[in-house]
Amino acid sequence: MELNIINTKGEATGKKAKLNDDVFAITPNDHAIYLDVKQIQANGRQGTHQVKERGEFAGSTKKLKRQKGTGGARSGSIKNPTYGNGRAHGPRPRDYNFKLNIKLKRLARRSALSQKALENRITVIENFTFEAPKTKQCIELLKNLNLENKKIVLVLGTNDKNVILSARNMERFTIAQAQDLNTLDILNCAQLILSENSIPVIETVLS
């Protein structure tokens, strides 16, 4: 498939980007996408949650009252969770990470890219840079592309510090490196902008 390449002013350059059909035009595999996004989100969890259980509270274990004859329920230690001291079966520190086959992860990324292409949510922009880090330049870029007030992911083929620093204060504008692009990045935006030099990197990683 081919997409028109535009410049930073939103104007057509007359050039076309040829996208590999094996990466950008496959039948999306929803289950692969689900598993990959689940892993990304699981691996991002700290897993440091913890509450005190009855054995971690200070207090007497003496039986509070006799077993029978009081007309009420049986009562044991004051540290029982029913008295507010400790939580039964509460969360404990754990590792949420799990592994996925690398081929499945590549399939998920190819599926997500193909889904974006089907929805016409991929824009290809010619290679550019900024002379200095200025957020104003990124805002101007989005205005020229008619993408302001939308959630955008810009994929760069190289580590351009001026562009990255210009976008770091913007709430809905994210910069991603082509070799690090993941399924969640692709799905979690209204429009995916690919710089011209990012396409061969993506195709090499996902081929």
- Nearest one of 24, 50, 28 to 37, comparing CA atoms: 28
Hey, which residues does 125 pair with through a beta bridge? Answer: 6, 195
What is the spatial distance between Cα 25 and Cα 21, in angstroms, rounded to a whole number? Answer: 5
**Residue ranges per domain, the chain?**
2-46+97-206, 51-90
User: pTM for the complete prediction?
Assistant: 0.82
Neighbouring residues of 149: CB distance < 8 A, sequence distance ≥ 6: 172
pLDDT in tens, the chain (207 residues): 899 999 999 898 899 999 999 999 999 999 999 999 999 999 999 999 999 998 898 888 899 999 999 999 999 889 989 888 888 899 999 999 999 999 999 999 999 999 999 999 999 999 999 999 999 999 999 999 999 889 999 999 988 899 999 999 898 899 999 999 999 999 999 999 999 999 999 999 998
Query: What CATH number does domain 2-46+97-206 carry, 3.20.20.70, 1.10.1240.10, 3.40.1370.10, 3.40.50.2300?
Result: 3.40.1370.10
